[in-house]
Structure 1
Amino acid sequence: MEDSYVLQLLEPKFKEFHLCFCGFAQCEPLHSYGPASRPNYIVHYIMDGKGIYQVGEKKYKLSKGQGFLIEPEELTFYQADQEEPWSYLWVGVGGTGAKKFIQDIGLNSQQRIFRCADGEKLNEIVMDMMKHTRSTVSDLYYLQGKLYELFSVLASDVVIEELMEENKENRYIQEAVTYIRNHYAAGLTVEELAGYLGVNRSYLYTLFKNKLQLSPKEFLTKFRISRAREQLILTEESVENIAVACGYHSTLVFTKNFKQETGMTPTEFRKTNRQAAKDRLLMNQKSPGTGKN
């Protein structure tokens, strides 16, 4: 679980570069997100504590003062430390020029990890952003200005780091992750994945456990449920349609797997998270700076 405060914009005004969402979270021990892929660039910054960030087989151990980049449609996983769980803020950006803006602060697919000494300023900017929850022209212009201010801080203070726990590329894992991302909705099975890679299930299991600490079946399930969580929050699609879109032929199996992963049924999750989002936005309007950090 995590105690989080979130601002999400569904209709950006600026096409080249714009804020999609931002937030702050205080995580409980071992709270994790993913494996999942997102449609936007997302920059996370760690205000306190420790955790891990994983992209494919690359794993980074990160702590206070560091940050990490998530690229669009990149399969990632991150988890809070058991003893010192992290709190972090994040900013998601999009637009036709988003890639260039990300590169301007020194980040790209080969350089995902950074350090920034001015974390308090970043926190101040994000908390200020979350005060402006209305989609008025005035608020949208204000948020655009705060976004540029945040990137100004990053551009001046970011120190690029590449602290990989593992840097040996594994062709099978890379291909497996890509294949899952592209075919999970078609009812992909572990047998089909092993057949595509040309390896037996036992070897595939060993690879996944050694590199990702999950079995192929666990990884595939977590990825599907992460996709389902996003669709339940962001769309009005029925649970049945979301189940099919995430590769489940049976709504009952989908609901069972979803509850095992989240502790709630899909319907309960949608209702709880939408109400929580409304409550957080109302809280931010009243006192956005009182969140844990």
Structure 2
Amino acid sequence: MKNTVSYAFRSDDLSIMTVDSVGWQNISRANYRCSSDTRPDHGHVVFQYTLSGQGYVDIADQVLPLPKGHALVVQVSEPHCYYYKADSTEPWEFVWINIRGEEASRIWSLVIEREGHVIKRGADSPLIRQLWDIIGLINRENVTDKYRLSVQAYQWMLTLVQTSREAENEIGVVAITTIEKCKTFMREHYASPVTLDLLAEHCDLNKHYLCRLFQRSERISPLAYLKNRRIEAALKLLRTTELPISRIGRQCGFESPSYFGKVFKQYMSMSPTEYRLNTLEFPYDAIYYE
């Protein structure tokens, strides 16, 4: 495949997320500029990833470089301009994809909130490999059907969301090991009285620092994580055993039947007894909170 390919797709179907355009370019001309002011269409989002050389983007009163391994993430409706500088020492080589649809805009807002308008990914990362796959699918197999391309766009977007969450939660190997140690302890001891002080002692960390670390990684507090595990265990016992409800509450770490009933109703909008009997609405042996 030559290193200047580009494809555009036009459709009036707004019910699905679709590929607007995609390609691979090598820019060396000084007049290369893409400005939101000159675009006739404001209905899509732009992802442009630098393979070599460097471009720039003016956005939100900032001038941001786009070096190798970095991608531009903008909505066409946002005031911006990305371009190649005349005094650059090498061409700006990049791959891009523009995607149309309300869901694409929603995901773009999420990614920009997490990482900003310029994000970093490796050339061999799943996100960039999947982008090459989309280009190859069109180039080699002449795939132009909007539904097949929509499937590709959705899969690529899911990878973007996943890797964006991982980038936001990047906290280092030691911290990840500590959090896994904390989670394992709660999974194994949910039936016992577990406090933040006990968790901090087990992980050999200050409890306030442990809370911040856990929240950043898991998007939930340690004690909320513990409560999820306790409710999961209770749901399974209610559906798969004949144990009295008061005993199930104790076995799952709840200090009293009334507290067990209160927390259970917050999760399931019904009492433990009602859940045990309600096999039609909830025909499951287990429910998991992740």
Structure whose CA Rg is larger: 2
Superposition TM-score, scaled by structure 2 size: 0.46
Considering Cα pairs closer than 8 Å and 6+ residues apart, tell me whether 1 or 2 has the greater RCO. Answer: 1
TM-score normalised over the length of structure 1: 0.46
